[in-house]
Chain A
Amino acid sequence: SAVISQKPSRDICQRGTSLTIQCQVDSQVTMMFWYRQQPGQSLTLIATANQGSEATYESGFVIDKFPISRPNLTFSTLTVSNMSPEDSSIYLCSVEQGYSGNTIYFGEGSWLTVV
């Protein structure tokens, strides 16, 4: 299975600031995804990070608020911009490994608290 490393694992952020979360995978993957999990809730897909092109955002999420980079097949970043307390969530990076039968693996997540 893919080994996915996320940084930071946890952070406390000031309202109005921005934070960039990094996701590093130990092998090349085609599909990378970013999810948000608000406290006590399930996971919601923010966007699919495409290598070499703009990310594809889900309804309710916009690039200005959650800019994403995908410079190569093993790395992606998600920025949470102009944060408010409502952005306090766990943000999770996930990848699909085609040779494992389309299993989608997750990183440990980045737990952000906005104060």
Chain B
Amino acid sequence: SQQGEEDPQALSIQEGENATMNCSYKTSINNLQWYRQNSGRGLVHLILIRSNEREKHSGRLRVTLDTSKKSSSLLITASRAADTASYFCATVARQGAQKLVFGQGTRLTINP
């Protein structure tokens, strides 16, 4: 079952602005992973953050994790038109099978 909730469902901003997407989940996790999906394509892995980590960076991406609130955020700084895509968070539970459970995703549009 889907346990992740993402907001907003859709986000439209101007090129150069920062984009923030949020993800909430329900169970205790081992890790949380963020993915990007361009229309009709496969998923590109962006960042993995473990339950004992609070923040990770990769280039223009910054991910935070608050396990007490069961939430994560993805910040994309200085957005570009090429960042237009759907972004998904997915969690791996602390116990049980090593499998991803996805949120509903955020559709991000960067306007030139």
Contacts and interface: CB of A to CB of B under 8 A. Distances in A.
Interface secondary structure of A, over-half rule: strand
A105 B48 CA distance: 11
Given A45-B100, A107-B42, A102 B88 contact: no
Contacts of A105: 45
Contacts of A59: 1
B56 to A, nearest CB: 11
B31 interface: yes
B92 interface: yes
15 contacts: A6-B42, A31-B98, A33-B100, A42-B104, A43-B43, A45-B100, A48-B99, A92-B43, A96-B98, A102-B30, A103-B33, A104-B33, A104-B90, A106-B43, A107-B42
A64 B84 CA distance: 38
Nearest to A90: B40
Contact of B41 (A56, A102, A108): A108
| Interface range for B | 20 to 34
Most chain B Cβ neighbours within 10 Å, of A45, A90, A92, A94:
A45
A75 interface: no
Interface of A: 1, 6, 31, 33, 41-45, 48, 56, 59, 90, 92, 94, 96, 101-109, 111
Nearest to B104: A42
B101 A102 contact: no
A81 B45 CA distance: 30
Interface of B: 1-2, 30-31, 33, 35, 40-45, 48, 50, 88, 90, 92, 97-105
Given A6-B42, A45-B101, A104-B45, 12 more contacts: A31-B98, A42-B88, A42-B102, A42-B104, A42-B105, A45-B99, A45-B100, A105-B45, A106-B35, A106-B43, A109-B40, A109-B41
A42 B42 contact: no
A45 B97 CA distance: 12
Contacts of A109: 40-42
Contact of A42 (B2, B30, B48, B98): B2
